[in-house]
Amino acid sequence: MPDGGLVIRTARTADETALTRVEAAAWTPESGFPSVIERVSDPFFTFFTDDSPPGSHLVAEAGGRVLGYIRVRPATRLRENAHVLAIVGLAVDPGARGRGVATALLAAAEQFARERGARKLSLRVLSSNGPALRLYERCGFVREGTLRGEFCIQGQYVDDVVMAKHLG
């Protein structure tokens, strides 16, 4: 656990600079998309958007320092799918990895989803991201499908793994 105790809270607009820093430091071609990595380095990049406002992010903080975030929002805009929330981003500063930050963020996201009446929490993860796959499995997510060769990253076709945790 990071020094100063780990706190998970809803993001605030004032977190944007710290979250952009985490975003830029956390992603690699194995864990994410080079096009997204490039976008984060754009001087006009904004972390929060209309589709991803501060309220859809939970932030991990210790000793006043933002260590990571998880983004949770409806899987689709369809009311027939309203019982499903999706994790559409999870990042932890490389210097804070291996201390339970991601596990704490996933537990908080599960609670967040339950409080909103969700019955399922879903996510997608690249097959090349072994550490994330193992983390999600340890936290009770199961593979529901694989989209074979869904992305071409640095000349290599990579599968997109669909995972979910049923909440009730």
The CA distance from 51 to 22, in Å, is 19
pLDDT tens series, the chain, 168 aa? 444 599 999 999 999 999 999 998 888 766 778 877 778 777 788 999 999 999 999 999 999 999 999 999 999 999 999 999 999 999 999 999 999 999 999 999 999 999 999 999 999 999 999 999 999 999 999 999 999 999 999 899 999 999 999 998
> What 3-state DSSP class applies to 14?
helix
**What is the reported pTM?**
0.92
What sign results for the dihedral spanned by CA atoms 59, 142, 147, 157? positive
The CA distance from 114 to 165, in Å, is 11
